[in-house]
Amino acid sequence: MIAATHICKRFDNIEAVKDVSVTIKKGEVFGLIGTNGAGKSTFLRMVCGVLKPDSGEIFVDERPIYENPDAKRDIFYISDDQYYLSNATPIEMMHFYKDFYPSFDTERFQNMLGKFQLDSKRKINTFSKGMKKQLSVLLGVCANTKYLLCDETFDGLDPVMRQAVKSIFAGELTNRDFTPIIASHNLRELEDICDSVGVLHQGGVLMQKDLEEMKLNIHTIQCVFANQSDEEQLLQALDVVKAEKRGTLNLITVRGKREEILAMVNAYSPIFAEVLPLSLEEIFISETEVIGYDIKKLIF
């Protein structure tokens, strides 16, 4: 488990991370969402021990991370612009990381290079941006660390590769003690892979929630009522997050279980009523609007 409590980091006059407390459970896929400059990279760099927080503490499996090789041995950090030795080939990079991570699986790495059609003897500086990203993921996965920190790793990958990487992650999650932490500014990319997410904005955490739990507890109802009073009574009875009216059609985002909500709506005899699924994006828009943020401005 990674536990960050009240961490702050300032670069000169800029407060990059302020009072962030996040808990990342073992075995879950944690998504870190935020706009550019929200503090995602700074947070990840602190989690992997590159940066020292000005205040607060970060523990990886109850061990402080900063300057602690023991704890760091369980973490592999893929930065948004991964460093490769000059003129190095993928094989040379494999040997480089093998020196630091003794459990690096060289055989698997070479197999995966073939599967991803990356030439093991080609110089990395001739690789495209996407190929470099793929390589960084393969190195990270084959390092066999418990935690894999990915800073905007999915950006630059084509949809096929994105799916391939996601399936590798899924495999790792099934087969071993593996916790990926993925930072991105794109909610849609994380939706189908993350178990829980944290939203960072201007250095602070807006929220941290379990994705499934969120999905089960918030819904949008599309309904039409014959008279206005039924409509008003229903809105008062429901735990409304957001209500919108387009002509006679009501679009109501409501907290609660699907069946319970539907039962309450039906009790007011609607002309038409339907419960719609919410995308991760919509859930966040709704949730953050509640706490006073216009998330459309934050994320998109």
Contact residues toward other proteins (CB under 8 A) are: 11-12, 45, 48-52, 67, 69-70, 72-73, 75-77, 79, 81-83, 85-86, 96, 99-101
The rounded distance, in Å, linking the Cα atoms of 208 and 124 is: 37
Tell the smallest beta-carbon distance from residue 117 to other proteins (Å): 25
Tell the smallest beta-carbon distance from residue 39 to other proteins (Å): 13
Tell the smallest beta-carbon distance from residue 235 to other proteins (Å): 50
> Residue 102 or 247: which CB sits closer to other proteins?
102
> Residue 97 or 116: which CB sits closer to other proteins?
97
Alpha-helical (H) ranges within 116-183 are: 129-142, 159-175
Q: What separation in angstroms does the CA of 173 have from each of 30, 73, 145, 208, 280?
A: 12, 18, 12, 21, 22
CB neighbour burial string for 221-243, b if at least 16 within 10 angstroms, e if fewer: bebebeeeebbeebeeebeebbe
Tell the smallest beta-carbon distance from residue 82 to other proteins (Å): 7
Residue with tokens 């005899």: 269
> Residue 91 or 164: which CB sits closer to other proteins?
91
The rounded distance, in Å, linking the Cα atoms of 151 and 96 is: 21
How remote is the C-alpha of 227 from its chain's centroid? Answer: 43
How far the first Cα of the chain sits from its last, in Å, is: 31
> Residue 101 or 109: which CB sits closer to other proteins?
101
> Residue 72 or 219: which CB sits closer to other proteins?
72
Three-class SS state of 88:
coil
Which DSSP helix (H) or strand (E) runs through 46? helix 40-47
Tell the smallest beta-carbon distance from residue 91 to other proteins (Å): 13
> Residue 82 or 220: which CB sits closer to other proteins?
82
Tell the smallest beta-carbon distance from residue 11 to other proteins (Å): 6
Tell the smallest beta-carbon distance from residue 100 to other proteins (Å): 5
The rounded distance, in Å, linking the Cα atoms of 134 and 154 is: 9
> Residue 63 or 245: which CB sits closer to other proteins?
63
Tell the smallest beta-carbon distance from residue 137 to other proteins (Å): 15
> Residue 86 or 128: which CB sits closer to other proteins?
86
Tokens coding 156: 């630059």
The rounded distance, in Å, linking the Cα atoms of 52 and 155 is: 27
- How buried is residue 254: exposed, middle or buried, by Cβ count under 10 Å (0-12/13-18/19+)? buried
Q: What are 100-107's contacts with CB under 8 Å, separation 24+?
A: 101/73, 101/76, 101/143, 101/144, 101/145, 103/143, 103/144, 103/145, 104/142, 104/143, 104/144, 105/142, 105/144, 106/142
